[in-house]
């Protein structure tokens, strides 16, 4: 790739999204770590040189009670330490395209207070399309012990959302990032429905920032208000978290347990938009 092509495609600063040109220019930097978040069989078929592998989809937060959050923190600490990551690394997460598991990596790194991270725009497909090398080599990791500093301002709990709904705290902008069928079957009261897939071009790269900003303006969402994103288990919600971070929204929380918790708890209200029926507490 020529210098002029790098200038054309590269982003000006690191995170929360970088493109293949940025990664190609920084791949050999000692503080840049590349993490392939696809299943191990996909990684084995070919990956970006130097990338280590972790299947993030297996690591979920089921509820937002304190014990579950503590267990999740420890699970993530052990899993990320096992692949040799260290606090302060600039981590680039990727999968096949600009998907939800890579976004989840960015949110997790933020939440655990480990430094800066980004997801690779277009994933390994974009990397290969722009001439990036693909390898099947293994990169054995030297395990590390991560010292976490969880940033609770990036994580929403059911109780925080309920406090907003009941007027006991400042009102939150709540975004339901699931598909139409899921949304119509039941949603959190007051939430705005904006499916995460609208962030992407047909080739799996992100739409231009100006188009993403317009998408959220048209939905009536504003950076001035604190925002909570949710889906079924916090992955699609993480994608919206990354986009809002890209757009400069300063206060965004991922309700990581998402509908897996909210929909299962009989004490939490649910609105069914199609019928306007509401399940009360």
| Predicted pLDDT of residue 14 | 85
Give the tens place of pLDDT for each residue, 67-89: 999 999 999 999 999 999 999 99
Strands (E), the chain: 17-18, 32-36, 52-53, 90-94, 117-120, 173-176, 192-193, 227-230, 252-254, 270-272, 277-279
| Predicted pLDDT of residue 126 | 98
* Domains 3-151 and 156-279 belong to one CATH topology: yes
**Domain 156-279 = CATH 2.40.160.20:** no
pTM: 0.93
Assigned superfamily of 3-151:
Rhodanese-like domain (3.40.250.10)
Average pLDDT, the chain: 93
Give the tens place of pLDDT for each residue, 212-247: 999 999 999 999 999 999 999 999 999 999 999 999
* Structural Rg of the chain based on CA atoms: 19
Domain coordinates of the chain in residue numbers? 3-151, 156-279
Give the tens place of pLDDT for each residue, 108-143: 999 999 999 999 999 999 999 999 999 999 999 999
pLDDT band at 280 (very low <50, low <70, confident <90, very high): low
Give the tens place of pLDDT for each residue, 12-63: 468 899 999 999 999 999 999 999 999 999 999 999 999 999 999 999 999 9
CB-CB contact of 122 with 19 (8 Å): yes
| CA atoms of 1 and 60, how far apart (whole Å) | 38
pLDDT greater than 80 at residue 175:
yes
């Amino acid at each position: 790739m020529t210098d002029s092509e790098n200038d054309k495609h590269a982003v000006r600063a690191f995170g929360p999204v970088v493109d293949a040109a940025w990664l190609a220019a920084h791949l050999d930097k000692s503080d840049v770590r590349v993490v392939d978040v696809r299943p191990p069989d996909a990684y084995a078929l070919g990956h970006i040189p130097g990338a280590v592998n972790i299947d993030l989809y297996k690591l979920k937060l089921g509820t937002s009670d304190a014990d579950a959050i503590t267990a999740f923190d420890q699970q993530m600490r052990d899993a990320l330490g096992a692949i040799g990551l260290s606090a302060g690394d600039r981590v680039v997460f990727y999968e096949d395209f600009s998907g939800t598991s890579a976004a989840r990596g960015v949110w997790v790194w933020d939440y655990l207070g480990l430094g800066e991270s980004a997801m690779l725009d277009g994933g390994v497909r974009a990397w290969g399309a722009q001439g990036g090398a693909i390898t099947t080599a293994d990169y054995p990791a030297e395990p590390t012990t991560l010292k976490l500093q969880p940033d609770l301002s990036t994580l929403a709990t059911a109780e925080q959302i309920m406090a907003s709904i009941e007027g006991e705290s400042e009102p939150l902008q709540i975004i339901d990032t699931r598909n139409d069928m899921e949304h119509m079957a039941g949603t959190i009261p007051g939430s705005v429905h904006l499916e995460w897939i609208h962030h992407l071009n047909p080739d799996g790269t992100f739409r231009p920032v100006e188009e993403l900003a317009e998408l959220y303006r048209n939905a009536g969402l504003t950076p001035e208000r604190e925002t909570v994103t949710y889906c079924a288990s916090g992955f699609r919600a993480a994608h919206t978290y990354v986009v809002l971070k890209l757009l400069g929204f300063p206060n965004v929380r991922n309700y990581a347990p998402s509908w897996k918790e909210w929909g299962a708890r009989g004490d939490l209200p649910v609105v069914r938009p199609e019928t306007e029926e509401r399940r009360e507490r």
